[in-house]
Amino acid sequence: MKILILGAAGQVARLLREKLLNESSNDLVLYARNAKERIEVSDAARETVIDGDFLDTKQLQEAMTGVDVVYLNDMGDVKAVQNVVEQMDKAGVKRFIGASILGIYNEVSGEFGEWNQQMIGSSPRMQIQKDTAKLVEESDLDYTLLRLTWLYNDDQQAAYAVTRKGEPFVGAQITRQAVAQAIFDIITSDDSTYINESLGLSEPGSEKLSKPSFMG
């Protein structure tokens, strides 16, 4: 299987790349702005690096050649996500996994929901994430959207909990390592459990928090 990682220089994308190289036999296409300056190939037989942005139609078409799965590390630009969807349709690539944020369905409640609303609820970023999620959900792709709660790093913490669209979002934080693990699990799964689903990802136990522990 060949996997295209869009935004491959991002933190979660780097962790995902490492897991895929170490724990699978899949080939990777690593796509990012100035990618050849920011990404050092560790397995030339399995990795292809492509410089480009998400609006670069020609480069995206090249990147999608022979690809089975596309992971998009940032859904924060409507035109960019629209172009990715269009190029996937043209290339005949169906499987899409995209990283979004919590709160796009007003699904976060309680004290943490109030805190989260104050922090990002009325921000332009939130509206953009709502728009890009809707765009993907209305496409004909076999998509999985990942609504991520507040992120931090911990190499010793890769556990994650899942909520589905329509359920209350619980969990104030999650490690980037856990997000990478979840994406890895979805990509390498033999079934179609999470196709055409929007999943909330959080750290088990963090549903008890009123805000992320690292926010003081």
Tokens of 53: 């942005």
- What is the C-alpha separation between 170 and 26, in angstroms, rounded? 33
Report the distance separating Cα 122 and Cα 116, nearest Å.
Answer: 10
* pLDDT tens readout for residues 150-204: 999 999 999 999 999 999 999 999 999 999 999 999 999 988 889 999 999 999 9
Nearest to 7 by CA among 41, 30, 38: 30
pLDDT, position 1? 95
Query: For 73-132, how does the pLDDT look when each residue is reduced to its tens digit (9 = 90+)?
Result: 999 999 999 999 999 999 999 999 999 999 999 999 999 999 999 999 989 999 999 999
Contact between residue 71 and residue 3 where contact means Cβ atoms under 8 Å apart:
yes
Domains of the chain, first to last: 2-202 (3.40.50.720)
- CA angle, corner 98, sides to 113 and 160, nearest 5? 55
Give the distance from CA 206 to its chain's centroid: 20
3-state SS, one letter per residue, for the chain = CEEEEECCCCHHHHHHHHHHHHHCCCEEEEEECCHHHHCCCCCCCCEEEEECCCCCHHHHHHHCCCCCEEEECCCCCHHHHHHHHHHHHHHCCCEEEEEEECCCCCCECHHHHHHHHHHHHCCHHHHHHHHHHHHHHCCCCEEEEEEECEEECCCCCCCCEEEECCCCECCCEEEHHHHHHHHHHHHHCCCCCCCCEEEEEECCCHHHCCCCHHHC
Query: pLDDT tens across 32-89, in order?
Result: 999 989 999 999 999 999 999 999 999 999 999 999 999 999 999 999 999 999 999 9
Task: Please tell me the distance from the alpha carbon of residue 138 to that of residue 178, in angstroms, as a whole number.
Answer: 28
